[in-house]
Amino acid sequence: MDRQLTFRLPDGYDERRITGELENHHFIRKEESTAASFAIYDTFDWRLFHQSLVLHVSEGDLILYRLPELTVVQRAKITNPPVFAWDFPEGELKMLLAPIIEVRALMKLAEIHSQSTAYRILNQDEKTVVRFNYEETRSAHQPEAPILPDHLCVKPIKGYGKYYRKLVSRLVEMGCTTIRPDKIYFKALETVGKKPGEYSAKLRPQLDPDMRAAEATKVILRFLLKVIKSNEHGIKADLDTEFLHDFRVAIRRTRAALSQIKSVFPAETTDRFRRDFSLLGKLSNPLRDLDVYLLKEKVYKAMAPATFRGDIEPLFDFLRERRLKALEDVINGLDSEQYSEILKDWETFLNEPPDNALTASHADMPVIDLAQRRIYKKYRRVVKTGNRILGNAQDKQLHELRIECKKLRYLMEFFSSLFPNDKISILIKQLKKLQDNLGDFNDFRVQKEYLENIADEFPVTDQQSRRTILAMGSLIGTLDKESQIVKSSFSEIFTGFVSPSNRRLYVELFAVEKARTAL
């Protein structure tokens, strides 16, 4: 079937002129014109856009379109503007969106007012054979400026393609040009200063192998600073938990870069900012812990034995209350003079021209050499630490190994653009498997300890709170059991990580000449 087309009018044409000229050839009936407005929604990190999806909210309707044709994928009725996937009405739209947006909040990005006048072309029987709309669009933010020039949307009717094609060729003859259907999406976002996909926390700085190590490190750090700054607003507004998560990861990566990319900056600079970012990281530890807990509310409730399921509720009420306080502390921290001073000094340092900066021993080294050296060394460390504890791993040792792996992961990500993509991707994937195992174990352990601490503080005043404590006890038991299960699979996963094929790849990419020949 023919598809809907959008036409831009030739210069000098308006609604009256174009319909007037069409009337010479077609029997046209004008209908009422309707005003409508719709808003475009996406998450802060453009998850829908990355899946070629566009979500419109118009009054009580939620409509999901697919780019670039803007074909309707799903619709649903809503009573409140959408925020989280779990608030959506049950149905196909929810099933489609939930795995994409996960825990992220949907935000209204742009609002568009449109005025649309419907026209119908009729045949001798006065049957409608083609429809077209004359459309005017205005941005809600700048009501004066049209988002797109006025345009015609021509819609075919099933079984009457002949009339449709006739109208389309007539419009083309008149000088109308087609507009891509997704243009309105990009234009509407442009009017509010947004570019789809502009924010991403994924670290992919493009480095040149011959770049000075100090300069390359600054490129990485500038990217991370941008991530830190762009998440502040969402944390303060408490839009969703991912703002804080991205913010924290960027801070952790900054710290890792400062400690792991060694001797590219003067020692005192490195020391100072390492202290500063360690402080910034600690600032939000309590809030993140609570976020993790509350995000798992459903899982925990399912973990508790059936008889206690209702009794676990007060724990989460207690945690929610605590979270409010923790959020307040973070917001105060972000608003503090100390915070803005640290970031200001950091930015100044990152933007200093190279010749002004004091140099350090590795500053002028080509970044590729430093990258190889650091990654290979860290890899050896991970292998050594892991081998030592294989078979009889203590909790503390697993924790240490987890930290080493994290450093290795960050180093590989910082410098991934310097190595063949297919090969480094394999290594990162392999490492991630190990990290997931260590991470799961750590999560269970931390959550167990957290519960133990909470249990000490939880006010026991009545029968109910006593039962809640009991429920927490059973939860601690379950978490302990789960952590043991994860721990028992460590050996196998680590053996996969140190497999000969993986090792060869590390040597090939990162080992310097000596190590390579020694093989």
Partner 1 sequence: MKTLAIYSNKGGVGKTAAAVNLSFLAAQAGMKTLICDLDPQSSTTYYFRVKPKLKSRAKGFIKGGKRIAKSIKGTDYENLDLLPADLTHRNLASTFDKLKRPKQRLRRILDAVQNEYDLITLDCPPTISLLAENIFNAADYLLVPLIPTTLSVRSYEQLLSFFKKNKYDTDKVYAFFSMVDKRKKMHNEFMATVLQEFNGILQGSIPYLSHVEQMGIQREPVPVFAPKSMATKSYQDLWQEVNLTILT
End-to-end CA distance of the chain: 64
In angstroms, give the least distance from the CB of 336 to partner 1.
53
Of 2 and 190, the one with the shorter C-beta distance to partner 1 is: 2
Among 30, 127, 180, 229, binds partner 1 (CB under 8 A): 127
Q: Which CB sits closer to partner 1, 67 or 93?
A: 93
Rank residues 31 and 335 by Cβ distance to partner 1 and give the closer one.
31
Provide the token pair at 240: 């969703």
* Count of residues of this chain found to bind partner 1 when the rule CB under 8 A is applied: 9
Give the residue from 481, 464, 432, 515 showing the smallest Cα distance to 312.
464
Amino acid at 390: L
In the complex with partner 1, which residue's Cβ is closer, 160 or 316? 160
* Alpha-carbon span 192 to 488, nearest angstrom: 53
Question: Structure tokens of 284?
Answer: 């939000």
Cβ atoms of residues 228 and 250 within 8 Å: yes
In the complex, what is the shortest distance from the CB of residue 205 to partner 1, in angstroms, rounded to a whole number?
A: 48
**What is the signed CA dihedral for 345, 351, 354, 359, rounded to 10 degrees?**
30
Q: What is the three-class DSSP state of 32? A: strand
Kindly report the number of other CB atoms within 10 A of residue 385's CB atom. 17
> What's the min distance (Å) between Cβ of 120 and partner 1?
8
Place of tokens 């174009």: 18
CA torsion 407-409-412-414 (nearest 10°) is -70
Site for partner 1 in 189-218 (CB under 8 A): none
For the CB of residue 75, give the shortest distance to partner 1 in the complex, in Å. 9
Is the Cβ of residue 158 or residue 202 nearer to partner 1 in the bound state? 158
With binding defined as CB under 8 A, does residue 92 bind partner 1? Answer: no
SS3 sequence of 71-137 = EEEEEEECCCCCCCHHHCCCCHHHHHHHHHHCCCCCEEEEEEEEEEEEEEEECCCCCEEEEEEEEEE
CB of 381 to partner 1, least distance (A): 59
Nearest to 414 by CA among 195, 279, 179, 256: 256
Element (H or E) spanning 139, and its range?
strand 128-139
- CB of residue 77 to partner 1, shortest distance in Å: 9
- Which span sits near partner 1 by CB under 8 A: 40-48, 111-119, 121-129, 211-219? 121-129
Residue 155 or 377: which CB sits closer to partner 1? 155
The helix-helix angle for 267-283 and 337-351 (nearest 10°) equals 140
AA identity, residue 356: N
Nearer Cβ to partner 1 (125/513): 125
Amino acid at 503: R
CB of residue 122 vs partner 1: minimum separation in angstroms? Answer: 9
In this chain, which of 4, 116, 128, 178 binds partner 1, going by CB under 8 A? 128
In angstroms, what is the minimal distance from the CB of 90 to partner 1? 16
Whichever of 127 and 141 has its CB closer to partner 1, that residue is: 127
The stretch among 7-15, 109-117, 123-131, 254-262 that binds partner 1 (CB under 8 A) is 123-131
120 near partner 1, judged by CB under 8 A: yes
Residue from 126, 335, 341, 449 that binds partner 1 (CB under 8 A)? 126
Q: Which stretch binds partner 1 (CB under 8 A): 119-127, 166-174, 314-322, 478-486?
A: 119-127
Question: Binding to partner 1 by residue 59, rule CB under 8 A?
Answer: no
- One character per residue 148-187, x = contact with partner 1 (rule: CB under 8 A): ---------xxxx---------------------------
Question: Minimum distance between the CB of residue 11 and partner 1, rounded to whole angstroms?
Answer: 33
Sole window of 46-54, 124-132, 144-152, 320-328 interacting with partner 1 (rule: CB under 8 A) = 124-132
Interface residue with partner 1, options 59, 90, 125, 513 (CB under 8 A): 125
d(CA 71, CA 84): 23
List the alpha helices (DSSP H) in 390-420.
395-414
Backbone angles phi, psi at 153, to 5 degrees: -105, 120
Strands laid side by side in the 27-42 sheet: 71-77, 61-66, 53-58, 27-42, 107-122, 128-139, 151-156, 5-8, 177-179
Cβ(219)–Cβ(205) under 8 Å?
yes
Stretch that binds partner 1, among 125-133, 223-231, 435-443, 450-458 (CB under 8 A): 125-133
In the block, residue with structure tokens 């087309």: 5
Query: C-alpha distances in angstroms, 461 versus 292, 464, 466, 469?
Result: 27, 8, 8, 11
Least CB distance to partner 1 at residue 163 (A):
11
CB of 86 to partner 1, least distance (A): 25
User: Whose Cβ is closer to partner 1: residue 76's or residue 431's?
Assistant: 76
Please, which residue, 72 or 172, has the CB nearer to partner 1?
72
State yes or no: residue 78 binds partner 1 (CB under 8 A): no
- Tell me which residues touch partner 1 (CB under 8 A): 120, 125-128, 157-160
